[in-house]
Every structure is written in structure tokens, then in C-alpha cells.
Amino acid sequence: MSNEPFVEPGEGLSLRVSSAEAGERLDAFLAARIASLSRSAIKRLVDDGDVLVDGRVVKPSYKLRGGEEIEVETPPPAPLELAAEDIPLDIVHEDDDIVVVNKPAGMVVHPAAGVPSGTLANALVYHFRQLPTRGGEARPGIVHRLDRDTSGLIVVAKTAQAHEHLSEQFRLREVHKSYVALVHGRVGEERGRIEESLARDPRHRTRMAVRRGGRAALTLWRVRRRYGRFTLLDVEIKTGRTHQIRVHTAWMKHPVVGDETYNDGRDRSMSDPALRARIRAIGRQFLHAERLAFAHPSTGERPLFTAPLPPELSTFLDALEAAEATRE
């Protein structure tokens, strides 16, 4: 089997498995068919859900049956050198091992396609000259992420030992991550759990979707406050899948306010023009990483870090509170 085609970073590829290739492992099949990807790179793609077999996420060891269609999506290339940029950071905590940052909405965590600069990673290499790069040169000290338009807490490792320690806690789901989300509609129950697998949407590759055979995802939620047409939720995620809260709340028919990707136009279809204008004024999705707790890499203690709602979100809630008081 020739090592073709050659896939450039950031490109997608579809392959059809022949009957002669039945019984091969998925990772071995891809390594034989794609010259530009190493076996370890293929494993990362499969583990990250960037390889679909007949629309499903499977393991690298999956045995092919023959006749399957395999979709491969490769990540964009990282910049050759991460430029240090003097971008202010809201540092919640810093010691010799870690930095906890309150990321603003609008900031991307690390460079990606179309976003070569202005990221948290660019700011980190300016403010902290020596950070571990176990996750890659473009991800100095970074062990987890938040979406561009999600604000809130991120922990950054300052040493290789801290990076390894924190990464292991995330892998074992020992990190407490709690968010505040304002969703459309009146959620009737007081609390609940969503345990629906997630994978890339086969029709919209930049989106995620609830899909059988996807990667396991668990979201816990409880109601903090109800505001007529909206519900404020405390949301805890036990897994860290891409867009997890946004997809899960949309799946339960209560999408996040301001989330243009997953709320199917709910923001724009509201009958109250003043309310529509207030949502547009937020300029982002109403999702904030409020609480973060983990075992400290050196002391073993488990501090809890918190970040208040940013002004654009608290102002919107104040307007809802005022409207509720008027109705009462």
C-alpha cells in the first residue's frame, strides 16, 4: 500500500476501507494510507474525535470490517515561533508552581487557524519567560482550555512537574470545574445530569453534536435563579469535551443565551425588541467559568478559586432582576 495521499495540516480527507483491509486496526490503516502523519499523531487525532468511522468516534485499536468510510480532519499548523505579547492578564493566584488566570471573553487560549496572535499563550510567554511546553510550543503551561467567548478561570503550569501533575488530574476527572450559564426558557426541574456522548457534527465540521458512538461526556446542572424567559444555571462538567456545556444545554432545549452557534436563532426570535437589543449588547455567550479546584502540585492542598461574573454579564442579570421586580 503506498503512503498516499499526503494531508496538509488543516485539511480534511475521506477514505474508503476495502474488503482486503478488513481486520486491520484503524491506526495502522491510517498510518499506511497517510504519509504526512506519524502513528502518534494519528492516535491523537483519533483520541480527540477528529477521525470518524461511518460518522462515529472509535478507538485507535478499532478493527475495520471493510466498506467503512473514514473521515480525517487534521488540525491547523501551529506557528513556528510563539511571539511574546504585552497583553494584560487578570491573575487570580500565582506561586512557584501555578498561575490561575481569569480569562476575558474574546481571548483565544492558544494560536489556531486564523488566530496567530493576541491569545492567552502569547500573553503567558511575555509575562512568564520559562513555561513548560509538554503540550507543544504553542501551548506554554496550558493544560486545559476555554472557548473564545467563555470567560473565567484557567490554571497554567509554571514547571514541567506541575504540568504533569495537573494534566493527570484532568485526565482522571479530579478537577472541579463549575460554570455559570444563562439559558433560554424556564427549566422546570431543580437539578439534573446530562450524559450524552459528543462528536463532531458530520454536516458542520466546526460544530459538535450529541451522537451515538461519540466521546463520553457528563454535565451536572442545578438551577440558581429563574427569570421569566430565562434560567440561570450552575453547571459542573466532569469531562472536558469541546463545547460540552453549549451542546448539552442545547440538547435539553435550553441553549445558552448569546450562543449563535447552538441556540438556533433563539436570541433573534424573541418578541421583545428591547430584550433582543440587550442580548446583542452582551456581545458574547452567557457562559463563565466561575469556580476551579484541584490538588496543588506541591502541597497537595485543594484550594478553591473563584471569579466573579464580568460586567457585561452582571449588567444583563441586573436588568432581568429589575424587570422581575417590576412584574411583582
56: β partners: 53
5: preceding bond cis by omega (within 30 degrees): yes
Q: How far is 254 from 187, CA to CA, in rounded Å?
A: 7
Question: β-pairing, 56-57 with 151-157?
Answer: unpaired
Q: How far is 64 from 18, CA to CA, in rounded Å?
A: 9
Q: What are the catalytic residues?
A: 147
